[in-house]
Amino acid sequence: MAKRKPSGNNIQTLRSEFKSGSTKLIYLLEGENPDKVRGIVDYLSKMLLGDTGAAFNFHKYDGDQHGIDKPLQQAVTIPMMSNNQLLWIKNADKSVTDQALEEALLNYLEKPEQSTVIIFSANKFDGRKKWVKSAKSAGYFYDLNPPKGIALVSSAISEAKKHGLVLDNELAELLVEMTGEDQIAITTELAKIGLIVDDNGIAKREDILKIILDQRSVDVFSFVNAIGPGKTATGLEIFRKYLAEGRSVYEIAPLLIWKIKQIALVQSLLDEGVSEGEIPGRAGMSPYAAKQSIVAAKSWGLNGVKAALFACNQCEKDLKGSPLGPEIVLERTILSICNPDS
């Protein structure tokens, strides 16, 4: 397995900072997913400039076309009818082409303009460059790429703790290998494993190992499309089809719960006035997953989404502590989702 050293700040760090209302004057965003970067840019634009300020105080540059000198000149100007201005430099790694430009940027990084926020984004920054080292040491660098290798193993161990699981390195490495280094699949799998934690907060290692080795794919998008308000018959039909194929409730339930929570997140973002184009970056979803969640949120309506989220939260509790069998618990959850007004 390829080894990759954790980089410190990542997308989770950034979300925590935004949630607390904290912003920085400089951001170095490294990652190959343009939707994530665009979502961060849009969020900062709305936070700093409001709905109308971007017309005068948002400035976008491309390192393929401009050296760093042009945005640095803009950075020290006074914002127009606002307390702030926001600069976004795409392909920023290509904007620092000689020593003079690097020295100018280093000087700015040492004393950034207090009314200006600059976002530098690139697929990959050259960590040998002085200006990149300076930005990293100041805490401005964020790795937006999904963790890989040893970093993903460490991430899996940390995520497991959220579900009351103690995952050793061997089990974590096996989980990473079995999921093809897919972070979403790892999170889903750990949620499934977390359902076997007993009332004493214990899950046997051999039981964890069995679930990791016994992975089957469930098309969660098709499942969610088949359920929803007024779809009792189709919802129960696909559920029973999965059971007939030998799939476990402890495989199906976490996938359904995870997807319902995604839909609820999208619903809340839509209610806040976030545009559909911003949702993938704001929610940390792929464009496809975001599109599916938007369709479901609009189709189900606010009451339908709330009812589904309540049903899933109850399902999580009942799978751990209800005297009812797991199949009855999940069937009841599907009925609640399909009949939100009952």
Distance, CA of 265 to CA of 76 (rounded, Å): 38
Q: pLDDT tens for residues 132-162?
A: 999 999 999 999 887 777 778 888 898 899 8
Q: How many CB atoms lie within 10 A of CB 233?
A: 9
Q: Which of 3-7, 58-62, 316-320, 338-342 has the lowest mean pLDDT?
A: 3-7
Contact of 253 with 315, CB cutoff 8 Å: yes
Q: How many residues does the chain have?
A: 342
Q: On the CB side of 65, how many CA atoms lie within 13 Å of its CA?
A: 5
Is pTM, for the whole model, over 0.85? no
- Which two three-digit tokens encode residue 287? 């464009």
Residue 324 DSSP SS3: coil
Give the distance between the most distant pair of CA atoms in the chain. 72
Residues 6+ apart with CB under 8 A from 279: 39, 266, 269, 270, 285, 290, 293, 294
Cβ atoms of 86 and 44 closer than 8 Å: yes
Name all domains of the chain by residue range, CATH numbers in brackets: 11-143 (3.40.50.300), 148-215 (1.10.8), 216-342 (1.20.272.10)
- pLDDT tens per residue across span 44-54: 999 999 988 88
User: Mean pLDDT, to the nearest integer, of 23-42?
Assistant: 92
What pLDDT, in 10s, does the model give residues 279-301?
888 887 767 778 889 999 999 99
Report the distance separating Cα 222 and Cα 237, nearest Å: 12
